[in-house]
Structure 1
Amino acid sequence: MMINSTQVLFFTLTAYFHSEVLNYVYFTVVLCLYILIVGSNVLLIVVICVNSSLHEPMYMFLCSLFVNELYGSTGLFPFLLVQILSDVHMVAAPLCFLQIYCVYTYAHIEFCNLAVMSYDRYLAICHPLQYHSLMTPSKITKLVALTWLFPLLESVAGMFLTVTLQLCGNIIDKVYCDNYSIIKLSCSDTTANNLLGIVYMFTIILGIIVLIVYTYVKILKVCFSASTQTRQKAISTCTPHLASLINFSFGCFFDIFQSRFDMSRVPDALRVILSLYFLTCQPLFNPLLYGLNISKIRSFSKKLVFGKR
């Protein structure tokens, strides 16, 4: 019998392990990770906001990136902490759809942020003399606004199609609510969902990938013909961005792969880790990566934490 998703009161998550002793270990590990993520990202946001010398385009985009890490991790970690200590892993349907929206908008915003940052590095390295005239405060504001508003609005269409699906069950084989898992429960036609996914893949994502590749091809050309000092500056500013981009891309690939292919032969613990990778490692990886590699952020962070001059 088909039931509309608006009539489903709850979904059951079946990927949790049942062990009274280990549950407290998992809870402690997840709580520590969440505290570390919140603390490190908030620290760098404060450092950038309170130091006028960091009110430059690159740092403004980094601040946007750190805010998104807080947004994405907050959409997951409190939910995980509650579920780990719960005996019955059920989630109310409205909360499940809200989490799906948070997770997917986080991923879209992250991708857009990284694309804007690559464009910023392209202007700084390939057009250094015109950089400040090209990257004006007005343009920075528009780029940050577009980075956030477009994914937040674009995801509404996908969520509407998912919420209106007719479902034959409410079992999700993951530790958090996932859009594709809901679609797999559908008894109705999912053509519209699939078409939207294809359109998004071949327009927005492909467009962003082309932009990033184009900027780095131009940057490499400049590096090959530039002085050693310019080459070192380009490498020092682009390396953290490339590392973050690669890390996030791998995380998304892990999640897509394990959602769409049979992973029954893979150990349960590994499946859970792969599905959580881009939601846990990226928010932890970015503040450590940029905080340690960018000297201005590193020195101001030390001053703020330890009071050293």
Structure 2
Amino acid sequence: MENDTVSFYFNLTMFVNIGHYRYPAFIFCLLIYSFILSANLVIILVISREKTLHEPMYLFIALLSINSLYGSTGFFPRFLIDLLSDTHLISRPACFIQIYTLYTYASYEMTILGIMAYDRYVAICHPLHYHRKMTSKTLIKLATMAGIFPAFLIILCVSLSARLPLCGHEIQKIFCANWNVVKLSCVTTVVNNIYGMLTAIVTVFLPLFYVLYTYTQIVLICWTKSAEFKGKVLQRCLPHLLSFVIYSLVAFCDVALSRYNLEETNPFVAVMLWLELAIVPPVLNPLVYGLKLPEIRRHISRMFSWYKK
């Protein structure tokens, strides 16, 4: 029986025994998950039903909200069950499905933010060519690329890890992560390490550098313009820039923590840092865009006023 457990299950060891506090924690996380679902659904509904918001910038915001629903649904149901459970075993297929879901969610977030940076760059630096460059066909191509390319890279990465013979079953995390599984391998993992690094470069660092490049160009353009122009640019770009900075910081914390010796880390601090990736972007994205962009805020207010009547 023990051999079957080692072969077919992983044990998520970072769940801290919090006794009776598990129930308030469960209710708190359930409320957060409920807010993520409702807030992002409102953003999607408003953008889809209002024809005046059928512009590239707002459609990309809707994609961010769809991705938030995808990533949070891939994390929270299992996490909520584990909060109330005394054992935290997860089958190997379920573990690799969770890895695929969370890693594609993270990659989609970065690629969508990169495409949004391109949209802002064209709108501000090449306004006369904006409608010629950002056509419906271009939007479909960009959205398709943002969806298919990361998924292809991640599924190869997960497939390489799933083939490894493992000499253990304990994962020091509250969810399955590729690096933690690879560390359990009985054989060399050079191929996995190289491919994992290439995947990180393509899905994380290239969008990161591209966003930095586009905003450098935007700042240079704004430098010579009037205060009114700078104000309009700031109003348009600030929500995207906030989302990008927040997500980059959260992702950096997760990557840094996965390489750190967890025995020297407070378990509660480690759990809270891991929760940031699943909670902070899906919670803040609808707040940032819903409150900062007047067009979305106005339509949300109008929609709720209509429902009250």
- Mapped to 2, the partners of 1:168 and 1:120 lie a distance apart of 47
**Offset, 1:65:** 0.8
Structure 2 equivalent of residue 67 of structure 1: 66
Give the residue type in structure 1 aligned to 2:272: I
**Offset, 1:4:** 12
Q: Per the alignment, in what secondary structure is the counterpart of residue 264 of structure 1?
A: helix
- Mapped to 2, the partners of 1:255 and 1:244 lie a distance apart of 17
1:6-155 alignment, distance < 5 Å: 8-155=7-154
Q: Is the 8 A contact 1:4 1:164 kept in 2?
A: no
Q: Percent of aligned pairs with the same residue?
A: 37
Which digits, 9 at most, give the CA deviation of each residue in 1:127-184, with x for residues without a partner?
1121111100110111111111111111111011110011001111111111111011
- The more displaced of 223-232 and 158-167 is 223-232
Q: Is the 8 A contact 2:107 2:203 kept in 1?
A: no
Q: Per the alignment, in what secondary structure is the counterpart of residue 12 of structure 1?
A: strand
- Mapped to 1, the partners of 2:164 and 2:61 lie a distance apart of 38
Structure 1 equivalent of residue 278 of structure 2: 279
The answer to whether 1:217 aligns with 2:193 is no
Q: Is the 8 A contact 2:57 2:119 kept in 1?
A: yes
Q: Per the alignment, in what secondary structure is the counterpart of residue 166 of structure 1?
A: coil
Number of aligned positions between the proteins: 306
Q: Is the 8 A contact 2:153 2:199 kept in 1?
A: no
Structure 2 equivalent of residue 173 of structure 1: 172
- Mapped to 1, the partners of 2:201 and 2:98 lie a distance apart of 25
**Offset, 1:58:** 0.2
The answer to whether 1:234 aligns with 2:237 is no
Q: Is the 8 A contact 1:48 1:59 kept in 2?
A: yes
Give the residue type in structure 2 aligned to 1:216: Y
- Mapped to 2, the partners of 1:252 and 1:10 lie a distance apart of 27
Structure 1 equivalent of residue 246 of structure 2: 247
- Mapped to 2, the partners of 1:191 and 1:265 lie a distance apart of 27
The answer to whether 1:298 aligns with 2:293 is no
Structure 2 equivalent of residue 163 of structure 1: 162
Q: Is the 8 A contact 1:11 1:90 kept in 2?
A: yes
Which structure's residues are more often helix, by fraction?
2
Structure 1 equivalent of residue 189 of structure 2: 190
Q: Is the 8 A contact 1:162 1:179 kept in 2?
A: yes
**Offset, 1:206:** 3.2
Give the residue type in structure 1 aligned to 2:50: N
Q: Per the alignment, in what secondary structure is the counterpart of residue 265 of structure 2?
A: coil
Q: Is the 8 A contact 1:4 1:167 kept in 2?
A: no
Give the residue type in structure 2 aligned to 1:286: N
- Mapped to 1, the partners of 2:125 and 2:238 lie a distance apart of 16
Q: Per the alignment, in what secondary structure is the counterpart of residue 64 of structure 1?
A: helix
Q: Is the 8 A contact 1:14 1:171 kept in 2?
A: yes
- Mapped to 1, the partners of 2:233 and 2:62 lie a distance apart of 20
- Mapped to 2, the partners of 1:269 and 1:277 lie a distance apart of 13
- The more displaced of 150-159 and 15-24 is 15-24
- The more displaced of 206-215 and 275-284 is 206-215
Q: Is the 8 A contact 1:123 1:131 kept in 2?
A: yes
Which digits, 9 at most, give the CA deviation of each residue in 1:188-230, with x for residues without a partner?
1101111112223444533222321221111011101112222
- Mapped to 2, the partners of 1:204 and 1:279 lie a distance apart of 18
- Mapped to 2, the partners of 1:46 and 1:8 lie a distance apart of 44
5+ residue gaps in structure 1?
none
Q: Per the alignment, in what secondary structure is the counterpart of residue 71 of structure 1?
A: helix
**Offset, 1:17:** 2.1
Q: Is the 8 A contact 1:4 1:165 kept in 2?
A: no
- The more displaced of 22-31 and 205-214 is 205-214
**Offset, 1:263:** 3.1
Q: Provide the aligned C-alpha RMSD in A.
A: 1.8
- Mapped to 1, the partners of 2:4 and 2:256 lie a distance apart of 28
TM-score by length of 1: 0.95
- Mapped to 2, the partners of 1:209 and 1:247 lie a distance apart of 13
